[in-house]
Every structure is written in structure tokens, then in C-alpha cells.
């Protein structure tokens, strides 16, 4: 790793960003673990929640709770209003053209499965091709393998270089008449690589292929504009963007969603049911069968309000500076090797250390109050590509500090003493 290769996202500085003020909004960040102040560096797995999200969910249950889209009574109308307002917040957050293009799902994983089973099964035939990349999370691999098995379609995989960047020349060669779908992550959870998804979508569209972007790791860390990217589908998870678990968003272009069959049958997704035939509801409701995760949706709306108020550009700039700082520290730490050194990179510091297994590193750090993840990060092909069984991974959010990274590197010094 060249320590001079700093990644300042957007080329913008984090002027006016007050990390200490932000930290006060997250109650858990002032807790201690094993008597040490918590340094939470596992944000790629899930993020912590600001008080405003916690309060919104509390207020929903204490003052509004009712089922949506059915009652004429006051509470049901209130709940429906909050629920649908959150849809508009999600629409605006990723700059979708219409609220109808926002489907609430359980998370990125369910969004991808929905597209694979609904769009995929009705559009792909034997011999058609699906393109993914080497650095996908298993959630953006397995649903396509299942679809390939069901339809006879073929999966192709874009290779990467030693920095963890996609080889676009190889991607270009893979595209062709048989390409029906390209499914690619916006930002890698294992390496931090930010992929040029706008360009990749443009290239795929020249062959009339559809493009799904897995934005699980991008949405919490940078401004996302689905219309500027011109992707056909985009998915993200609420819990990674400071909202509740069990809720996420699938964005799809309206004309595609309208043509797709429902994913699940049940209440709310119908307009008329007889035993002979069922007429389906319009989008987005056609894809939201059953009572939805109402408090999850409303809590997600509060989370999107929160990060919008902080400012996504500011978050990206601050995290870029923090990543550059952490990269410098880890590059200078004896025996440490950073895995994932792309020029365009988000706040992921994946690394290995001589003589110490990543699980041992994570366990020792835990005793210091430092939470990181160790393992394959649900991206086993990435581990195979770099010929490592696992990595230790510190993943950043805008509430992390340089001091926490100093503590991380100091604790790695202790790991070295134990294992040398
Ligand atoms: N896609 C990417 C790029 C991810 O990082 C993850 C979760 C998912 C999809 C799945 O998201 P879910 O909310 O539907 O589960 N990534 C991680 C991680 O890096 N550590 O734990 C989960």
C-alpha cells in the first residue's frame, strides 16, 4: 500500500462537521465494554442508532400503533400517513423519480431475491447471462446462482486486480447479446472498493441488459442518486444506515416493476380476489404482501432524516479523511497487511497480521472495548482471490474518531507481543 494514496471522497473537506456533537446523538457510543470506552468499528455489519430513531419507534408504539392501509379509524390513518411519508423520504434520499418506485423489503438481501425471482424468472431463459463480480457479498451471488439453476441461465464473474478493483476491460468483453442482467455492489463490504456503477450501467445498457446495484454499503456513506446512476434496480438495508433491522428498500424503475409479477401473495398486494382469479394491486403495493414492518419503515424514515441533516457530502468527506488516517496508521504497523487498496475506496480497513489469526485479533481487541469483525465477511470468493482464510476488518462510520483508530493500532501492538 502506498501511504500517499489517500482516498478523499468527493474531493470535499468535512468543513463544519462536529464528530463529538454527532456522537452525543447515539446513546450506545458512551457505553463501556470490559471497563473500556466502546470503540465501535463494525459498522459494515450494522450501525448504531441515534436517539431520534429510538424515539420515533417509541412514539409510534406509545401513540400511533395501528395497521396500515385498511382502517378508517384515526390511528390507522395516522400510521398509514407516517408509513407513506417514510416512503417519500426514501424516494427523496436516493432521488427516485416517483414514490411508486420504492418497495419496502426486509433488507438488501430480500430486495435482491425479489428481483431475481420476479424479474429474473420472467425474463431469463436458458443460455442467457447474468454478470456479477468477484467482490460481491453472498447476498448478491447466491440469489443469482439459484436463478441460474432455475432458468438455465449462466453466471459470469468480473475479475479484479490486486488492489481489489474490477477489471473493466474484462467486463466489457463479457457483455453481449446474451447478457440480461448485471448485478454489482456499489461498495464492497470486504475491501471497501467503490465500483464505477454509473459507467458499468451505461455499458450494460448498450446491450439492453438491466442493472441491479447492491447499495448496502454505499447508502450510509455517500450521496446516492439512482437517476444519475441510471441503474434499473438499487437495494439497501435500513440497519446499515442507522435505522432499524428488518427493513430495507428496493428501488426499481416504474415500468420494470409494473411489468414484473408479484414476489409473494397475501393481503395488501391485491385489488380483487375471487377463487377463479386475483387482480393485483398497483406498485409499490403489489410487492408488499402482508402487514409490513411499520415501525421499521417509520424508524428508517427518521434515520434518513437524521443523516440528511448531518449531510451526506459531509459524511463522505469526513469518512474519507478518517480512512486516509487509518490507512496511514495501519500501513506503518509492523506485520500488518491491508487487503483492499482501491483508488476509489470507502471506510473499510480489512487486514491480516503476521502470526495472528483474525479471530484472535478480534478477541484481543474486544477486551480493549474495540469492536471489529473477523472472518470471511460473507464474501468467501474475495478471501479465495487474496488467498487468505479470513481478514480482520474495521469498518467506519461518521461517528468514529481518529482517537479510536489510535486505540485500534495500539491494541494491535499488544496482539503482536502475544503472537510473535
Ligand atoms: N450487500 C452487501 C454489500 C453487504 O455488505 C451486506 C451485509 C448485504 C448485502 C446484506 O445485507 P442484509 O442487511 O440484507 O443482511 N454485509 C455485512 C457485513 O459486511 N457484515 O455483516 C453483514
Q: What are the tens digits of pLDDT across the range 191-212?
A: 999 999 999 999 999 999 999 9
Residue 92 is classified by DSSP as H
Assigned CATH class of 54-308: alpha beta
CB 93 within 8 Å of CB 101: no
Query: Do residues 248 and 111 touch, judged by C-beta distance below 8 A?
Result: yes
Give yes or no on whether 8-30+311-419 and 54-308 have one common fold: no
What integer pLDDT is reported at residue 70 of this predicted model?
81
The pLDDT-based confidence of 3 (bands split at 50, 70, 90) is: very low
Please work out whether the CB of residue 148 comes within 6 Å of at least one atom of ligand 1: no
pLDDT tens digits for 292-334?
999 999 999 999 999 999 999 999 999 999 999 999 999 999 9
Centre of ligand 1 to C-alpha 198, Å, is: 21
Domain ranges of the chain: 8-30+311-419, 54-308
Our mutation pick for probing the ligand 1 site, out of 45, 137, 218, counting the most ligand atoms within 8 A of Cβ, is 137
The set of cell numbers assigned to 5 is 494514496
* 142 Cβ inside 6 Å of ligand 1: no
Cα separation, 37 vs 16, in Å, equals 26
Is the Cβ atom of 377 under 6 angstroms away from ligand 1? yes
Q: Which of 49, 44, 46 is nearest to 23 (CA)?
A: 49
List of residues 6+ apart from 359 with CB closer than 8 A = 374, 375, 390
Q: Is residue 249 in contact with ligand 1, taking CB distance under 6 Å?
A: no
Q: How confident is the model at residue 13 (pLDDT cuts 50, 70, 90)?
A: low
* Half-sphere exposure for 364 (CA within 13 Å, toward CB): 20
- Write down the pTM of the prediction: 0.96
> What would the pLDDT profile of 49-78 be if each residue is shown by its tens digit?
999 999 999 999 999 999 999 888 999 999
Pocket test for ligand 1, best of 41, 106, 193, 237 (most atoms within 8 A of CB): 237
Average pLDDT over residues 257-263: 97
CB-CB contact of 190 with 379 (8 Å):
yes
Domain 8-30+311-419 annotated CATH 3.90.1150.10: yes
How far is ligand 1, taken at its centre, from the CA of residue 45, in Å? 6
Binding site membership of 350 for ligand 1 (Cβ less than 6 Å): no
Q: Are 144 and 130 in contact (CB under 8 A)?
A: yes
Amino acid at each position: 500500500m502506498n501511504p500517499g494514496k489517500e482516498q478523499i471522497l468527493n474531493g470535499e473537506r468535512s468543513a463544519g462537521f462536529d464528530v463529538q456533537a454527532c456522537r452525543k446523538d447515539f446513546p450506545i457510543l458512551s457505553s463501556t465494554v470490559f471497563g473500556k470506552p466502546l470503540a465501535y468499528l463494525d459498522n459494515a455489519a450494522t450501525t448504531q442508532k441515534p436517539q431520534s430513531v429510538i424515539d420515533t419507534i417509541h412514539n409510534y408504539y406509545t401513540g400511533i400503533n395501528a395497521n396500515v392501509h385498511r382502517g378508517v379509524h384515526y390511528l390507522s390513518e395516522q400510521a398509514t400517513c407516517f408509513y407513506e411519508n417514510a416512503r417519500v423520504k426514501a424516494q427523496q434520499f436516493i432521488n427516485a423519480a416517483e414514490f411508486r418506485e420504492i418497495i419496502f423489503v426486509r433488507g438488501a438481501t430480500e430486495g435482491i431475491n425479489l428481483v431475481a425471482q420476479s424479474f429474473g424468472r420472467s425474463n431469463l431463459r436458458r443460455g442467457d447471462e447474468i454478470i456479477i463480480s468477484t467482490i460481491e457479498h453472498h447476498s448478491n451471488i447466491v440469489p443469482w446462482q439459484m436463478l441460474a439453476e432455475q432458468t438455465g441461465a449462466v453466471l459470469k464473474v468480473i475479475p479484479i486486480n490486486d488492489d481489489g478493483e474490477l477489471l473493466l476491460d474484462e467486463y466489457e468483453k463479457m457483455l453481449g447479446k446474451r447478457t440480461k442482467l448485471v448485478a454489482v455492489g456499489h461498495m464492497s463490504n470486504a475491501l471497501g472498493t467503490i465500483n464505477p456503477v454509473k459507467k458499468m450501467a451505461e455499458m450494460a445498457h448498450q446491450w439492453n441488459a438491466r442493472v441491479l446495484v447492491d447499495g448496502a454499503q454505499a447508502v450510509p456513506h455517500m450521496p446516492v442518486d439512482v437517476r444519475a446512476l441510471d441503474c434499473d434496480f438499487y437495494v439497501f438495508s435500513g440497519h446499515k444506515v442507522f435505522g432499524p433491522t428488518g427493513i430495507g428498500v428496493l428501488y426499481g424503475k416504474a415500468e420494470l416493476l409494473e411489468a414484473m409479477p408479484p414476489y409473494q401473495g397475501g393481503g395488501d398486494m391485491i385489488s380483487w380476489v375471487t377463487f377463479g382469479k386475483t387482480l393485483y394491486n398497483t406498485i409499490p403495493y403489489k410487492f408488499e404482501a402482508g402487514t409490513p414492518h411499520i415501525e421499521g419503515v417509520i424508524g428508517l424514515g427518521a434515520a434518513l432524516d437524521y443523516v440528511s441533516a448531518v449531510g451526506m457530502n459531509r459524511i463522505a468527506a469526513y469518512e474519507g479523511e478518517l480512512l486516509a488516517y487509518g490507512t496511514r496508521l495501519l500501513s506503518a504497523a509492523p506485520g500488518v497487511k491491508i487487503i483492499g487498496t482501491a483508488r476509489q475506496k470507502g471506510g473499510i480497513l480489512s487486514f491480516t497480521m503476521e502470526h495472528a489469526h483474525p479471530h484472535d485479533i478480534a478477541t484481543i481487541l474486544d477486551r480493549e472495548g474495540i469492536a471489529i469483525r473477523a472472518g470471511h465477511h460473507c464474501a468467501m470468493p474475495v478471501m479465495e482471490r487474496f488467498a487468505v482464510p479470513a481478514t480482520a476488518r474495521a469498518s467506519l462510520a461518521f461517528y468514529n474518531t481518529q482517537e479510536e483508530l489510535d486505540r485500534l493500532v495500539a491494541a494491535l501492538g499488544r496482539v503482536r507481543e502475544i503472537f510473535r
